[in-house]
Amino acid sequence: MSAGKSYFFVGIGGSGMMPLAMILAGQGATVAGSDRSLDQDRLPAKFEQLRAMGITLFAQDGSGITSADQIVIASAAIEATVPDMIAAERVGATRMSRAQLLSNLFNTAPQAIGVAGTSGKSTVTGMIGWMLHALGRDPTVMNGAVMKNFAHADAPFASSLVGAGDIFVSEVDESDGSIALYQPAIAVLNNVSLDHKSLDELRALFADFIGRAGHAIVNIDNDDAAALAAALPPERVTTFSIERAADLQAIFIEEKPFGVDFMVTEADLIVEVSLQVPGRHNVANALAAIGAVRAAGVSLHEAAATLAGFTGLRRRFDLVGQVNDIAVIDDFGHNPDKIAATLTTLHAFPGRLLILFQPHGYGPLKVLRRELVASLVAQMAPDDLLVLPDPVYQGGTVTREVTSADIIADIAAAGRHARHIAVRDDAAAWLVDQARPGDRIIVMGARDDTLSQLAADLLLMLASRG
């Protein structure tokens, strides 16, 4: 589909755009792009990796779009007033959304595995991709996060894998409704919970998604997902669970600070699994991934053995380092369920939590205000500390009806230690001043790759403090 064509990505550095651009380049397409972060000289290593793959980069000033033969890809976040979009209109270039392009690649693959759900998509996608790769199935993998197994010095942003096999593995997004475009052979549904859309909308989208699949892998610990699974013919569903009887069930779970062991049962088989990523939520993620590769013809023993080699994703409970018995962890938690999973995992072991949460936009704060506050209040211990800087903002128009200060006021009113410090660097410095041996500092948030650099800077600040 892609060989010989010319694509231009507007916002090529985005977490959903970069891996797609890399897949197309790996398949022989001519790929170019622009990005605000490139113009602002942010994250140069990311753009060096793209250049090393033969991808040409331009300023986001319209100069890179010059021909009607180019296919211009833009995410929903790109406004019509961006010069590249004006240039695309002027030259008559074909326009596609990121979701349209990805779904075309996905739907033309001989065997497509789609991973859906409010939380855990990237981790499950990474697990599936690693297992299939390790077993020689040579998959193509589209992920929204960097997969540590495939990252190295020359490719630090390995959020995709280009394979020659029949299998295409991708997380699919419900937030913009584009999940409706995908036709999976195997569909994974991790969970259904409030995030970008109402629960009624989410139920309908996820029901249609697993209904179109040849086989569905569904988490029945989630009541909404379980109800959707029950509506399908039993022979087309593999259920998985930690709490309930299921086709794939985890038992004898033993949590560790940065890993977890368990047994998985399937019919009369019982197999041991040892993960290098922590938490009960990752046990559920592992069951989802095992179910997907089982549906693709991998044995339970092969799945368990290869899963032990999965080293995780960057910014998913990512231990940056430890100084003077203070750990710094970088995490993608940004919605109520993700935040709860991370904090629950951390509270399984002793130590105060010092949380820096950068909201990923003013819109999500407005939609999720009540749920975010409830999740943080429920998961914070009485001596934990929380600081919120202002939400990430990278240009464009935005309505600031609910702010970080509003969230902090709600949390403080519920009796938790919470503070609003508008400037992120000031918030980080305050946390460093508060830290003492035994603490865990967690940097949380989405849509901002510089959060990883902030986590690394926090470690240096702790070291320089002595």
- What confidence tier does 367 reach under pLDDT thresholds 50, 70, 90? confident
Structure confidence by residue, pLDDT tens digits, 243-271? 999 999 999 999 998 899 999 999 999 99
| pLDDT of residue 202 exceeding 60 | yes
Residue 323, pLDDT score: 94
Residue 466, pLDDT score: 64
Cα 27 to Cα 7: distance, rounded to the nearest angstrom? 12
Cα 57 to Cα 50: distance, rounded to the nearest angstrom? 8
Full strand arrangement of the beta sheet holding 353-358: 318-323, 326-331, 440-445, 353-358, 385-388, 417-420
Residue 193, pLDDT score: 77
Percent of the residues in the chain that have a pLDDT greater than 90, as a whole number: 77
Half-sphere exposure of 365 toward its Cβ, with a 13 Å CA cutoff? 25
Cα 202 to Cα 117: distance, rounded to the nearest angstrom? 9
| pLDDT of residue 11 exceeding 80 | yes
Structure confidence by residue, pLDDT tens digits, 112-154? 999 999 889 999 999 999 999 999 999 999 998 999 999 988 8
Beta strand residue intervals within 35-184, DSSP E: 56-58, 71-74, 94-97, 111-116, 140-142, 160-161, 167-171
Element containing residue 361 per DSSP (H, E) = none
Residue 233, pLDDT score: 96
Structure confidence by residue, pLDDT tens digits, 86-108? 999 999 999 999 999 999 999 99
Best CA proximity match to 173, nearest among 95, 101, 114? 114
The position carrying tokens 């052979």 is 185
Query: Distances in Å between the alpha carbon of 82 and those of 8, 69, 77, 92, 100?
Result: 14, 20, 11, 16, 20
Are the C-beta atoms of residues 128 and 121 closer than 8 Å to each other? Answer: no
Phi-psi region of 91 (alpha: psi -120 to 50; beta: other; left: phi over 0): alpha
Residue 397, pLDDT score: 62
Cα 349 to Cα 363: distance, rounded to the nearest angstrom? 34
Query: Distances in Å between the alpha carbon of 302 and those of 216, 259, 297, 308, 309?
Result: 20, 20, 10, 10, 12
Least confident of 17-26, 35-44, 250-259, 360-369: 360-369
DSSP β-bridge partners for residue 31: 7
Residue 365, pLDDT score: 84
